[in-house]
Amino acid sequence: MSEKTAPADVPLRSPDQVMRLARLGSMHQTRLSFLRALLRRMRSENWRVSSNSFDLDERGVGTAIYTVGVGERWYSLVAFGHELPAEKRTDRVIAEEWDATFVLYDGLPDDDAVDRLKANVPLQEAGRYRESELVLARANRSVRLFDHVVSALCAGSQPDPALVESTGYLMRTTAVYGNGKFGLADRDLICGRPEFADPFRAEMLTVYLIRLFTVDLVEHLARRRGGATAVTLEPTIRRRFGIGNSTGLGMAPFLVRHPSLLDRWVLARETALARARSRSRAEPRHGRLLRDLLNSSRRIVGDWVSEDPNQSQRIARLITDLYKLERFVAGTLFDETRPFDRLYRFAEAELSLEGQEYCVTLLIEVNGDIVDELADTMAVDEAETFRIDGTMKCGELLQLVHDCYGWALAFDFGDRTARARFWYTSEEKLEPRLGERFHEPGMECEQPLAVARDIVAIAAALARAAPDETSASFLLAQPQYRHVARRIQIAARHRYSEIRDNLIDATMRPIDILRCKLAFFGAARFDPRSDRWVRITLFQGSPFPDELDADWDRWPFAP
């Protein structure tokens, strides 16, 4: 039996270990992350990306269209450049104007379609969209770097590499919407297409094309302003521009609301780790590769800057962890059996959570040949897990609570700090928010995200019910437990479906949830701006469409 098909001997890590916020909030991108899987597909299927029109003035105001050919289908990024006064530049969702706005169009838009988009896309949430529009997004300039780059190119020189590295992007997206928002196409409409079957592929493609737009834009502005003296970006510097992203609480509830999907994501990652750890022997190339990756990781992590004191400490500790890993790898590790398992166990014993999860990223990276296919297992049809099996007896349901939610039953919700917060949706911007239960109004509008508390409540109710009563009749009489009964039955079949922490605790850090989701997207350089707001970089170092055939596969570790 080949290694690829052999069952993993090392078991999956337990959900009690993996699904804690502290660990989820220490995750890093991997080969399975969505943007990396997207680029692999783009390369293997020879997607054809081209700039169709670029009609922007010297201020960057106008329209650009990029097209992507995927087999017989076409997609277009329609980009609108705007002039934005500094006082209106905010990354928060409450903004009403942006430096640029974008839509991913299903096909090739004709003039009428572009006119319609021009009337709506700049309005973002206030516009209306059709099923021909797949993704809506907007971005703001990193003003300092943007202006520096344009000035430098204008004067015939390259931008300062240190400045480029310290920011890492020319624009950062402040929202990327898909799946039917504001009339956009529903995911159901495109999930049957192989290129968009896996999660967030259309969104990732949009961001990748926005990145292309940002570097084309600075070159264009330099040309318009500098004329003959203007130069274009050197390819090595050009690749150092990723796309920034600012993300707040709006993203956090997603992972809680989609338990079976979260399970698929984590299961793929954990399966990849288990396969790597189960590899009986390493070949010399594995050792070389791992040492190379560790070498570049030291530089990458060294460039990772955060003003957040907590994150700064974690980064410093991660650098120490990387030295420890290097020393361990330099020994006789690769002469022994199951070297990757030994490496992982070393990490677990000796490193911080950041370091342990970075080690997971490295192990997955080195074992691409046996894990890449898992990127195609990360979608789920949630309709299949929606129906409650009401023939299940209350006694069985209670047993499932004890089997799957022991972690939740351990919390004491009599303690006010354990229920200090509540999730709600703000009337102002229709976005998720976290309130202080005992100090703010609105508790009656609490969203059903207090999973642990609701589990404790249903457990008490089930303990009072007759064990042979059907859950159908239990829920008929007590519908307040219905949403959580559904979760229990999902959790019984999806071990990684729940974040195993109290999401309304006074000390809960929402950015841990954000980071987990963003790591699955493929984000890097997490920079918390508060405990509920984080900046990240996407696609930094990745090849541009015309470079996808080069030696590109390990671009997150590229020098």
Distances (CA, A) of 327 to 172, 279, 284, 295, 320: 37, 21, 17, 12, 11
Among 69, 180, 287, 395, indicate the residue that binds other proteins (CB under 8 A).
180
Distance of CA 40 to the CA centre of its chain: 17
Q: Please tell me whether residue 431 binds other proteins under the rule CB under 8 A.
A: yes
Q: Does 415 bind other proteins (CB under 8 A)?
A: no
Pick between residue 154 and residue 484 the one whose CB is nearest to other proteins.
484
Binding to other proteins in span 504-543, by CB under 8 A: 529-530, 532-533, 535
Q: Is 360 in the site for other proteins (CB under 8 A)?
A: no
Burial 413-452 (b: 16+ CB within 10 A, else e): beeeebbbbbbbbbeeeebbbbbebeeeeeeeebeebbbb
Q: Does 28 bind other proteins (CB under 8 A)?
A: no
| Residue 489 lies near other proteins (rule: CB under 8 A) | no
For 102, the enclosing helix (H) or strand (E) is: strand 100-106
Min dist CB 250 to other proteins, Å, is: 8
Selected from 20, 43, 82, 130, the binder of other proteins by CB under 8 A is 130
Q: What residues numbered 290-319 form the site for other proteins, per CB under 8 A?
A: 307
SS3 519: helix
DSSP 8-state assignment for residue 439: T
Contact between 98 and 140 under an 8 Å Cβ cutoff? The reply is: yes
Q: What would the x/- binding string for other proteins be over residues 100 to 129, using CB under 8 A?
A: ----------------------------x-
Distances (CA, A) of 405 to 11, 367, 397, 456: 20, 33, 11, 9
Residue 74 vs 182, nearer CB to other proteins: 182
Work out whether 51 is an interface residue with other proteins (CB under 8 A). no
| Nearest approach, Cβ of residue 125 and other proteins (Å) | 12
Of 209-217, 233-241, 340-348, 480-488, which segment contacts other proteins by CB under 8 A?
480-488
Q: Does 427 bind other proteins (CB under 8 A)?
A: yes
Tell me: does residue 285 bind other proteins (CB under 8 A). Answer: no
- The H-or-E segment that residue 440 falls in is none
What amino acid occupies position 167?
Answer: T
By CB under 8 A, tell whether 395 contacts other proteins: no
Query: Phi and psi of 124, rounded to 5°?
Result: 55, -120
Using CB under 8 A as the binding rule, the residues of this chain from 222 to 281 that contact other proteins are 246, 248-250
Give 292's DSSP letter: H
Which stretch in 25-33, 178-186, 332-340, 366-374 sits in contact with other proteins by CB under 8 A? 178-186
Our finding on whether 363 is near other proteins (CB under 8 A) is no
Q: Give dist(CA 138, CA 100) in Å, integer.
A: 6
Q: Looking only at residues 149 through 168 of this chain, which bind other proteins when binding is defined by CB under 8 A?
A: 167
